[in-house]
Amino acid sequence: MPSIETLCDRIEELEQTVAAQQHRIESLDCKVDELETELEAEREDRQTAEARCAEVAETIDREVSARLEALSRKTEATREQVVELQSRSLEKGGHLLATNVDPDRIDVHGHQLEQITKDDDNEYFRLPGEEDPLARGGAVVQSTADLLPLQRLARFDDEMLASTTNRKPDELAAKAWRERDNPGRYKLWSNGGANVRTYMTAPDLADWIRQEEAGVSKKYSQELARRTIDAMIELARGKLGKTKRKRRTDGLTYHETRVVLHQGTELPGERPVADATAGSESQSASRKDGYAATGDGRDDHDPSHDDDQAPATDAVVGQ
């Protein structure tokens, strides 16, 4: 059993420990009070800053909105003045750069503008048939009125094209005509031979229509392709031809309708194509090499060469 002296020493140690802990607690209480005071001060500062920011934001919004509104009114007034000056200049026979003109805002008699190209390769707007008294940009190389109906429709965007045409084949004909310049992997138009610059087949057109028009069945796409080809021939005004080729695929023989653009055909607004005589000779040689390589004369050669080696059963439908 511990002695009284040992117990007294133990009690003294415990009292010292309790005193130290009490001192620590009092120190922490003071620190907590200081932190709460600082936090309250920071909270008040934050609320003051937020109120100030809201006041500044309201002031800026009010002032900036007023300035933006005034600037918008001034800009619109300036735009109206520019449109008025452009409209009067056009009525006096002026030719204006197409990049500076918003044709939807121009107000002229008849509400008709003509887009032309001049010697400087720039496009201009003018009233139909008006000559520029200042002769700026040189002579008129090409005007919209000189284009084929097919070319004019092809220049419209899809929305304007749909509102301008009242027949689906006309709309598809214009879109298909645009595809001549499509550099994609799948090309609707193919290069021809010595006498044909480029051509398009009815099966390829039907496939393309099914890609462009959602919900079109294979049978209906073939019917649309036939009507589109007829519309394209009509809108091209004799610049395109339609032929039928006798083809063999998988042992079956069928007639394939083609739209062809012959070499030497001049299209309004397009630079003339150089004489392909020299090129056709080299193509003929390469074709001979290709046939020699296959050795059996089967129908796996380039279809663009069929125009140079037409079978006796070919018939020209229109040109």
Q: Output the pLDDT for position 179.
A: 87
Of 84 and 109, the one with more pLDDT: 84
Over residues 171-221, the pLDDT tens digits come to 999 999 988 876 555 688 888 878 888 899 999 999 999 988 888 898 999
Over residues 259-292, the pLDDT tens digits come to 889 888 888 766 555 443 334 444 443 433 433 3
- Residues 195/307, Cβ–Cβ less than 8 Å: yes
Determine the average pLDDT of the residues in 233-239: 89
